[in-house]
Structure 1
């Protein structure tokens, strides 16, 4: 399994409205603790942990000051998920890494454990953890992917990407843009038949919008 994880915490959180006027989205509290801390709890067993930061970066740095977690600050511009991951590679190393979004809450088994159990690096360049739309709490709109034979991922379908994956980072060096989405990397992998997914058996809540806070707290209380 990977020994490094990238936690994405650099976004502006615009869907949160006034809640992110003075603080970054990862520091918004859900069930009594910041979203970032919910995500960090899932990664406790990973030796190398890196959090990226841009909007209100000083607050993220202060929050982590008494930990051994590295912060990859993106300045002067935000780099999106792909650019942010590439920017953090000196801290993460050259081997495959976990990545985890910090604007979601989970109910069920540890998502990184599920990824590690299904990871087959000989045939996969990325393994995305997906959840059926019916169990994606707070999700608006349709799904992201369909799971094909053997777990091959195709665009469209009723599976939602949860924001957790294992990904090889070698191909990031060949992408010309400075700021870009991980979708650019995934599209390349899909063309080569190397993009895969696995299903999460629990529940997952999108906390990218204010309503998601209440929904997440209700989900966590319903155990």
Structure 2
């Protein structure tokens, strides 16, 4: 699941005529960087959600084996968007990827797949230590304990990459909601886990992130 429906308001004028996933970094659109990670991992059923300038995104992805989950009339946030896309994704665990962040290092999906233990886990979130979160301002999102379980706040930043079970989405009454609601239920059952990412990560959700990401990809950090 590639999250690509947002308005990109932090990008200002850059998203006036295009959706954020089509902004170029290092010579190619952000969503193409995400698809390269999926391609490198291997065969996957791939779905992108779309809302803001959905037709542009769909045209860009035409012929690239990516199903489009259109959100209309309202945007559904990450949780609602994932639930709406389930008919296209299937019933098994799902990888999710944000399309406004870039990484330099090992393939995030492969790391998650290698560490995934469905007997113990309902979700496994890939998190990067603050020291390798390029351009991050403020603290982290999670603490990861010695057994891999995570709790809120701490010195690790969620990268947007995860693998998770989707069964619990059916129990959330809201139509539009964040995946945080699903994570809260998993954490209450001690089934929410984190995996440290050994590479670098950069948020490209704001204009300054473009130059930072390009420097990161050139290994200038």
Q: TM-score, normalised on structure 2?
A: 0.97
Cα distance in structure 2, aligned partners of 1:19 and 1:136 = 23
Q: Does 1:48 align with 2:45?
A: yes
Cα distance in structure 2, aligned partners of 1:140 and 1:200 = 18
**Partner-residue secondary structure (3-state), 2:159:** strand
**Partner-residue secondary structure (3-state), 2:147:** helix
Q: TM-score, normalised on structure 1?
A: 0.96
Which residue in 1 is equivalent to 2:62? 65
Contact 1:132 1:199 in 2 (8 A): yes
Q: Deviations over 1:61-84 (max 9, x none)?
A: 000112211010000000000000
Cα distance in structure 2, aligned partners of 1:213 and 1:147 = 29
Residue 47 of structure 1 deviates from its aligned partner by: 2.2
Matched length:
218
Cα distance in structure 2, aligned partners of 1:156 and 1:46 = 34
Q: Does 1:131 align with 2:128?
A: yes
Q: Deviations over 1:114-171 (max 9, x none)?
A: 1011100000000000000110002122100000131000001010000000000001
**Partner-residue secondary structure (3-state), 1:151:** coil
Q: 1:29 aligns with which of 3, 24, 27?
A: 24
Q: Does 1:12 align with 2:16?
A: no
Q: Deviations over 1:162-207 (max 9, x none)?
A: 0000000001001000000000000010000000000000001100
| Long gaps (5+) in structure 1 | 1-5
Q: Does 1:219 align with 2:207?
A: no
Residue 108 of structure 1 deviates from its aligned partner by: 0.5
Cα distance in structure 1, aligned partners of 2:43 and 2:107 = 12
Cα distance in structure 2, aligned partners of 1:185 and 1:132 = 23
Q: Summarize the alignment of residues 87-102 of structure 1 with structure 2, pairs less than 5 Å apart.
A: 87-102=84-99
Q: Does 1:75 align with 2:67?
A: no
Q: Summarize the alignment of residues 205-216 of structure 1 with structure 2, pairs less than 5 Å apart.
A: 205-216=202-213
Which residue in 2 is equivalent to 1:168? 165
Moved over 2 A (4+): none
Output the aligned Cα RMSD: 0.8
Q: Deviations over 1:7-31 (max 9, x none)?
A: 0000001110110111100000000
| Long gaps (5+) in structure 2 | none
Which residue in 1 is equivalent to 2:201? 204
Q: Deviations over 1:40-70 (max 9, x none)?
A: 0001113200010000000000001122110
Cα distance in structure 1, aligned partners of 2:54 and 2:135 = 27
